[in-house]
Structure 1
Amino acid sequence: MSYQALYRKWRPQTFEDVKGQEHIVTTLKNQIRLGRVGHAYLFCGTRGTGKTSVAKIFAKAVNCLQPVDGSPCGECAMCRAIQSQTSMNVIEIDAASNNGIDNIREIRDEVEYSPTEGRYKVYIIDEVHMLSIGAFNALLKTLEEPPEYVIFILATTEAHKIPVTILSRCQRYDFRRITVDTITGRLTELAEKENLDVEEKALRYIARAADGSMRDALSLLDQCIAFYLNERLTYDHVLDILGAVDTTVFSRLLRSVLDQDIAGALKLIEDVVVQGRELGQFVTDFTWYLRNLMLVQSSDQLEDILDMSTENLAALKEEAARIKQAVLMRYIRIFSELTNQLRYSTQKRVLIELAVVKLCRPQMENNYESILNRLAVLEDKIENGMTFAPERPVRQAAVTEAVKAEEASALPPAQARDVEAVVGQWGKITSGLEASMMIMLKPALVSAGPDNQIILGFRQEMNKAYFDEESHRAAVEASVSEHIGKAIRIVTKLLDSGKSEEALFINPNKIRLEHVEFIDEDQF
């Protein structure tokens, strides 16, 4: 007998063999056991989750001569006939190639004839969303009021493409993606039955690569076994066959990115290419690695969700402690976008290298996440003892003068002309602020407002939002009041670029400052 693929050889034959869809199996078994079988069912879900298998088991169960608790016995004449695909009671139709109105009219004519044996005629229409509009319309009446001996089971991976008129006539069952643990357990069970020598870590990786599909997992296992025939199938073997990369490479890549080591990061990419790894899978796996880091940062109780050993989890926590969450979110966004770009690209390596350079150089982007990334780099440098500019004696003098003024009397209210004083001392005002605040304040425009207000105008929402926070706004108010000797309130305003209202604002950065200049992190 010719070789039979694992997913065909081990296709579930009873409800008990179906893994990961207990919510559906229990409902169908109860309907059969209690005699409450419906006339039309819709099975929805991603590929390889058991839709067609459950439909065939259901067809056997409703026709079984000796059902056991709602499940087919597998021994009676009807079960054996359906299993061998010789029964006239079960009709499978591929809607992808039989999607015309004439095909449905044939079904409509056939349902008028009762089954020659058994209780029900079961029509299983796979990929039903491929039917034409005319075919759906021809199916409506028959689907709503079929003869009592007819059951329709419609299976689809894209339920949103099915007309509402069809949906309303069916009992809908949504098949879930199968968990990694469930797939691994099934693979382990089948490996024992097939007398295969397979490393557990290899099976877990295959289960994760299957992305919730039991059929895909069995196909991947079949592929790996064929290459390493009569050998022990190890984790490294699976990585070689699937073109995947060991997770230690992801850790090394992340460390290179955090250190802004472009040369080191690109060397890692080159090694991956030279080893013949599949670049699309590499990007997917690295995105998954970043996702795990994000989850570790979010909670300490994620051992079950992360699906990894205690040692790997400890290493992941160590990595997560090195990176700020806002920076990590930017990395995930860039690689998620990269996944979509690679799908239609013929220059995958170039796109991956560009994405890695972006990770190392946040100043290449001009958005909120990249600004936070740049601020995080600056804060790390500050924490590591790097100074950005020498101490300025003028700052201490200004503080002393402000203290004396406060002791003498309360500060008088600010007037519109005080904007000139703010602009004139802008360098001194900003020099006393934190480095991150100085950068966010750099694009500010200044104007006077009513009720002792100094208005800071910004063209970017993120800058305005930054100084809408009470602590940041209060720090600027204190510094301005200290230097101009008057009590003021800071108000932020979002400006539309090119609008006439900008004429009311002054750009203090265009004024030549004698004492202080803004610091650009690119110089470090």
Structure 2
Amino acid sequence: MDDEHSAPSDALFPAEPQAKREGQAAYRVLARKYRPSGFSDLIGQEPMVRTLENAFELNRIHQAYLLTGVRGVGKTTTARILARAFNYELPAQDGRAAVDRPTIHMDALGAHCQAIIDSRHPDVLEMDAASHTGIDDIREIIENARYRPVMARVKVYIIDEVHMLSKAAFNGLLKTLEEPPEHVKFIFATTEIDKVPVTVRSRCQRFDLRRIDAGLLAAHLRKICDLESVTIEDEALAMVARAAEGSARDALSLLDQAIAHGAAGGGAIAAQDLRLMLGVADKSRVIDLFEAAMKGEIAAAIALLQEQYDGGADPAQVLLELAEFTHLVTRLKLAPDAAQSNALTEEERRRGGDAAGTLSISVLTRAWQILMKGVDELRSSPRPLASADMVLVRLTHAAEMPSPEEALRKLGFGQGGAPRPAPGAAPAAAPGERPPVALAPAPSALATSAAPAQRRAAEPAPAAEVKIADFRALVALAGEKRDIQLKIALETEVRLVRFEQGCIEFELAPGGSTRLPQLLMQKLQDWTGTRWLVALAAGGAPTLREEALARESEKRSGIEADPLVASILAQFPGAEIVAVRGKETEQAATAGAELAYDDEEPDDV
């Protein structure tokens, strides 16, 4: 009998490992050793912690929670902490009051905490949906959910990677998930929230765990290194934090690897050692490569890439870091406050700021596009180094290309794409006036301005130039040309800013077609025999249709204010003014009627 009763006890409380009995503690990786056990230990998830704290304080605890985010941000860890909070019990001792209600303030280990942390509590059941995907596994959960917990306050089901469940399993879970017993809580975790059915998402409170900031992650790694008595350079920690891409688990795994890699030296773990281990490029050499490419020094750029490749850096990783620095320079140019980030080194701040002051946004965005396309090419290239060299060739040649503004200036166009005035000519716009934004000068204009004087002299003389007095004359010309669609667009979509011979500036009315400026430019060139500049600008006057409606409304308001009209409207409820006619309207109507009668045949008597 003793043997029979001893077997279940051994199964519930297994013997200690052989290494521990012999006095040799088994090594625990950093990701498990420093796994958060309470909400205060979670880093970078303050919005979620605040929401849960308020919910527990107000006793508004939900029946099901859905945790989503990238790998390693703490989804499963948060689920276990929530299971602790649901079942937190702390007996009174040493003058401390007892705690017997759900709370997220768990300063000491409660009666069930250690068992939940070690994943061996009978009332906190963890299931990996990747290996339990069928309806039978869900049926087992539904059957067991009917029974009250064995030891704890509530029974908690933690389903990891819940998106792996089959459609039948999700459907089988819906009813229990919507109306679970009072003693049951569900916590789901997933990295692919879009694969979770909407019917499941609507029954849960969803929390999106964010990627952890690189600066915050580096500070967290520094604390762990101090606890482990590990000496490591700040640059090396920043390198690990960036390589982790916001994942705390990845960062701790890389730190574990870095400690093992640098243990042979006996001194501080240097950034150079980690650079070789991770296969990343030297940040200062990446900046040198960026500066050489932006200056158009192709030979120096290829030599720098070859140097880093010989040092063990992956060409694709070099291009990625080059793109990251391009992004940093762009941010420093648009938002100088970004230089205060803790994740940046002093060299990145200084040299990135210098590059931001000299390079234009168009150059930086063009470099980013070339690098991103190059990274995609390297992923499928059989010769990564040669492909990276060709990407650098494209990048350096693109850096030598003038910006659109410089190209227009060299071709004889002034600021905004307007033709540069001849010496002594009056300026096109008054001082301080906002220059128009040219949409698309006609290609023939660029070709003609770039052609030599001899070629222009040999060309045939253009047709006679047609003058247009004002904008209304332009609308009338569109009607004469029977281009009714353009005429209607001019009346309803154009809010005129400036009109003069050869140049129109206007603002598009809401709903206006963005193709109208290009279309109008082409039509004017065909109708007048001259090139017109059509540009968009802000602050235009009302459209012709809006002006007509405003005049009609003003007339109607004046008529309605007339005492006689007001009395008539009062005597006939429901009556309304259909049209307002003045002397001009009557004359036009009479003239039209006379013309109509002239055209008719006389009636036979």
TM over 0.5: yes
1:254 is displaced (CA, Å) by 2.2
1:137 aligns with 2:171: yes
Q: Which amino acid aligns with 2:53?
A: K
Alpha-carbon separation, structure 2, partners of 1:207 and 1:425: 51
Amino acid corresponding to residue 48 of structure 1 in structure 2: G
Q: Secondary structure at the match of 2:353?
A: helix
- Report how far residue 125 of structure 1 moved: 0.8
* Contact kept? 2:233, 2:271, Cα under 8 Å: yes
Q: Partner of 1:321: helix, strand, or coil? A: helix
Equivalent position of 1:315 in the other structure: 351
In structure 1, the gaps of 5 or more residues are: 364-369, 389-397, 404-422, 433-444, 454-469, 478-490, 496-501, 509-524
Structure 1 contact 30–70 (Cα < 8 Å) conserved: no
Q: Which residue of 2 aligns with 1:108?
A: 142
SS of residue matched to 1:302: helix
2:74 — aligned with what? 50
1:201 shift after superposition: 2.1
Does 1 or 2 have the higher relative contact order (CA < 8 Å, sep 6+)? Answer: 1
Match for residue 202 of structure 2 among 163, 168, 177: 168
Which one of 365, 377, 384 corresponds to residue 329 of structure 1? 365
Rounded to whole Å, the distance in 2 between the matches of 1:132 and 1:282 is 41
Give the letter aligned to residue 165 of structure 1: T
Whether contact under 8 Å (1:292, 1:306) holds in the other structure is: no
Whether 2:249 is the aligned partner of 1:225: answer no
Report the CA distance shift for 1:449/1:351 in structure 2 as closer, same or farther (over 3 A). farther
- Counterpart of 1:298 (choices 334, 348, 351) is 334
Residue 521 of structure 1 is matched in structure 2 by none
Matches of 1:114 and 1:257 in 2, distance apart?
A: 68
User: 1-side partners of 2:251 and 2:526: how far apart?
Assistant: 65
Cα offset for 1:261? 2.4
Matches within 5 A, 1:365-514: 373=403, 451=468, 493=518
Specify the SS of the correspondent of 1:114.
coil
2:119 partner amino acid? Q
Q: Is contact 1:48–1:215 with CA below 8 Å preserved after alignment?
A: yes
What is the TM-score with the length of structure 1 in the denominator?
0.71
1:332 and 1:270, CA in 2 relative to 1: closer, same or farther beyond 3 A? same
- Provide the C-alpha distance between the structure 2 equivalents of 1:102 and 1:89, rounded to a whole number of angstroms: 20
Partners of 1:503 and 1:371 lie apart in 2 by 33
Larger radius of gyration: 2
Q: Which amino acid aligns with 1:90?
A: V
Matched residues, number: 428
Query: What does residue 29 of structure 2 align with?
Result: 5
Give 1:186's aligned amino acid. Answer: H
For residues 166 and 343 of structure 1, the distance between their equivalents in structure 2, rounded to whole angstroms, comes to 37
CA 1:90–1:346: 2 relative to 1, 3 Å: farther
2:594 corresponds to: none
Instruction: Give runs of aligned pairs for residues 190-201 of structure 1, distance below 5 A.
Output: 190-201=224-235
Shift of 1:178: 0.9
- What is the match of residue 506 of structure 2? none
Aligned pairs for 1:53-68 (under 5 A) are: 53-66=77-90, 67=99
Tell me by how many angstroms 1:241 deviates: 1.2
Contact kept in structure 2, 1:447 and 1:504, CA below 8 Å: no
Q: 1:348 to 1:378 in 2, by over 3 A?
A: farther
Alignment CA distance shift 1:428-1:244 (3 Å): closer
The equivalent of 2:491 in structure 1 is none
1:352 is matched with: 388
- Shift in Å, 1:296: 1.6
Does residue 246 of structure 1 match 2:282?
yes
CA pair 253-309 structure 1, distance change in 2 beyond 3 A: closer
Provide Cα deviations, 1:252-311, integer angstroms capped at 9, x if missing partner: 222322232222222222222211112332222111100111112113332234742455
- For the 8 Å contact 2:232–2:268, the answer to whether it is kept is yes
- What's 1:408 paired with? none
Task: Decide whether aligned partners of structure 1 residues 85 and 244 sit closer, same or farther in structure 2, where only a CA change above 3 A counts.
Answer: same
Match of 1:467 in 2: none
**Residues 1:24 and 2:48 are matched in the alignment:** yes
Q: Distance in 2 between matches of 1:323 and 1:290?
A: 10
User: Would you say the 8 A contact 1:327–1:376 is kept in 2?
Assistant: no
Amino acid at match of 1:122: V
What is the RMSD of the two structures over their aligned residues, measured on CA atoms? Answer: 4.2
Q: Is the 8 A contact 1:123 1:151 kept in 2?
A: yes
The 1:85/1:339 distance shift into structure 2, 3 A limit, reads same
Paired letter, 1:100: G
1:164/1:492 Cα in 2 relative to 1: closer, same or farther (>3 Å)? closer
Q: Deviation string for 1:355-392 (max 9, x for gaps)?
A: 211112239xxxxxx9754765998xx9xxxx99xxxx
Aligned to 1:147: 181
CA contact under 8 A between 2:467 and 2:528: conserved in structure 1? no
Distance 1:80 1:312, change over 3 A: closer
- TM-score w.r.t. structure 2 length? 0.62
